[in-house]
Amino acid sequence: MTTKSKTKTDSLPPEIVKLGFEEAMGELEKLVRQLEDGKAKLEDSIVAYERGALLKQHCEAKLRDAEARIEQITLGDGGASTTPFNV
């Protein structure tokens, strides 16, 4: 039996985890615009900020996952090969 190490996304609500990157980023941008507008009640602003923080965390995790999958093409000895992307 293998145990999965706990990641930052393990603590995210399921409705955020199911979002794709573009969906989460779109919702995050909408929340930022609402907060910048400054017309929301304080409690609503706090709730929006908390959700925005979770969406940001989710987007960052999605970007890390994508970055880990990117492969870099390297040329060597007359052929091409792939190597994992290094930051």
Q: Taking all residues of the chain, what is their mean pLDDT, rounded to a whole number?
A: 83
Helix (H, G, I), strand (E, B) or coil at 55: helix
Question: Quick check: is 2 in a domain?
Answer: no
Question: Quick check: is 3 in a domain?
Answer: no
Top pLDDT among 50 and 69 is at 50
Question: Quick check: is 64 in a domain?
Answer: yes
What is the spatial distance between Cα 66 and Cα 43, in angstroms, rounded to a whole number?
35
- Does the model's pTM come out above 0.85? no
CB of 42 within 8 A of CB of 60? no
| 81 burial via Cβ count (<10 Å: 0-12, 13-18, 19+) | exposed
Residue range(s) defining the domain that contains residue 63: 8-84
Has residue 4 got a pLDDT over 50? no
pLDDT of residue 30: 97
pLDDT digits (tens, 9 = 90+) for 23-63: 999 999 999 999 999 999 999 999 999 999 999 999 999 99
Both tokens of 13, joined, read 């609500």
Total domain count for the chain? Answer: 1
